[in-house]
Amino acid sequence: MPASVVERAASSPDILKIIGLTTEFRGRQTRIRANDDIHLSIRRGSTLGVVGESGSGKSVLCRSILRLLPPSANAYFKGAVEYEGRDLLGLDEAEMRRLRGTELRMIFQNPMTSLNPVWPIGDQITEGLRVFGGLSSRRAHDRGIEMLGRVGIPSPERRFDEYPFQWSGGMLQRAVIAMAMAGSPKLLFADEPTTALDVTIQDQILALLLELQERSGMTLVLVSHDLAVVAETCDRIAVMYAGRIVETAPTKSIFRSPRHPYTVGLLNSIPHLSKGASRLVPIPGQPPDLASLGPGCPFAPRCSYASADCSTSAIRLSEAGPDHLSACLHPERIEGVAA
């Protein structure tokens, strides 16, 4: 790994530093690197967007950090995930649990299934407060109603005792957010929090997340396959492809001058209302099979800028501009987004 990246990661005021994280799923014959040598720092109080298509390793990254992969995945880790100076991968399960209960949170794509169908919603929101916050049930009840009000549930006193089947998807995602925010976490992973919701609700939920983040000063990691979503909300963007981070930079920089062909491809696939009914430019080909990756750039077979070196030499994230990292051998060849 390039020394420069590691050194910077070690000296910045970051809440989370991921240093060379590799997550490998081992089957009987196959070894799948769902995350390969991830380097990423997340600044305190910032919003990081992680984008990439399905199967690019976004969710695995979140779950590796929180150590929430199911035992059946048979995951092996390499590298380090430093959270406030502690390596999360080295913590024992009890410490990890305490950390999840108090400081690290994650919310999922589908709010309909994220809540226990047989528990009243209010009790689910306040359970963490009762277990980890040591609140009495009456104080937790009051706090739960306050939380529901804060995430925009009308008449929370009456709604507190209702069950998930009585609520709509948008309301449930609000409840899930309230549940994640109860106990004031420092770092929240939102794994496609709006994908299962319709477009008008998406905006409301994103606005709510940002508002809560601003008020509490927590750090937000927003995972999405939708560039539009992260463009509106994030300070920085990390683009993932085939289990690797291929480009990371401030949002503006990514959109103005992408320095990785895959990012260019993604940007070209966004329809623009202002440009009229022009054809979108798709990325040719299919994402690679993670079980049989070659030594070179995983994007090379689909890349119009690729040279012969691309598929043979190992490619690392390196400086491609101010505060802008790209894992491309020929960033200078990239012309930018098609007009």
Residues contributing to the site for another protein (CB under 8 A): 66, 68, 70-72, 97-102, 105-108, 110, 113-120, 122-123, 127-128, 131-132, 137, 160-161, 176, 179-180
Helix (H) or strand (E) holding 6: helix 3-11
Q: How far is the CB of 118 from another protein (least distance, A)?
A: 5
Residue of 283, 306, 284, 281 lying closest to 296 (CA atoms): 306
Q: Decide: 283 and 269 in contact? Cβ < 8 Å.
A: yes
Per 3-state DSSP, the chain is made up of helix, strand and coil in percentages (nearest 5) of 40, 25, 35
Helix (H, G, I), strand (E, B) or coil at 323: coil
Q: How far is the CB of 160 from another protein (least distance, A)?
A: 8
Helix (H) or strand (E) holding 224: strand 219-224
Nearer to another protein, 63 or 236 (CB): 63
SS3 assignment for 102-118: HCEEEECCCHHHHCCCC
Nearer to another protein, 140 or 297 (CB): 140
Nearer to another protein, 75 or 245 (CB): 75
Q: How far is the CB of 111 from another protein (least distance, A)?
A: 9
Q: How far is the CB of 177 from another protein (least distance, A)?
A: 12
Give the Cβ contact number of residue 132 at 10 Å: 15
What the block records as the tokens of 79 is 């590298």
Burial of 93 (0-12, 13-18, 19+ CB in 10 A): exposed
Nearer to another protein, 219 or 326 (CB): 219
Q: How far is the CB of 216 from another protein (least distance, A)?
A: 17
Round to whole Å and give the CA distance between 268 and 335.
12
What CA–CA distances, in Å, run from 41 to 14, 45, 171, 301? 6, 12, 32, 29
Q: How far is the CB of 25 from another protein (least distance, A)?
A: 16
Nearer to another protein, 38 or 121 (CB): 121
What the block records as the tokens of 159 is 């709604």
Q: How far is the CB of 199 from another protein (least distance, A)?
A: 22
* Tally: H helices and E strands in the chain: 12, 12
Nearer to another protein, 23 or 248 (CB): 23
Residue for token digits 């950090």? 65
Nearer to another protein, 21 or 99 (CB): 99
Q: How far is the CB of 128 from another protein (least distance, A)?
A: 5
Q: How far is the CB of 233 from another protein (least distance, A)?
A: 21
Nearer to another protein, 122 or 258 (CB): 122
Round to whole Å and give the CA distance between 260 and 225.
17
Nearer to another protein, 159 or 236 (CB): 159
Q: Put residue 73 in one of left, alpha, beta given phi > 0 → left and psi -120 to 50 → alpha.
A: alpha
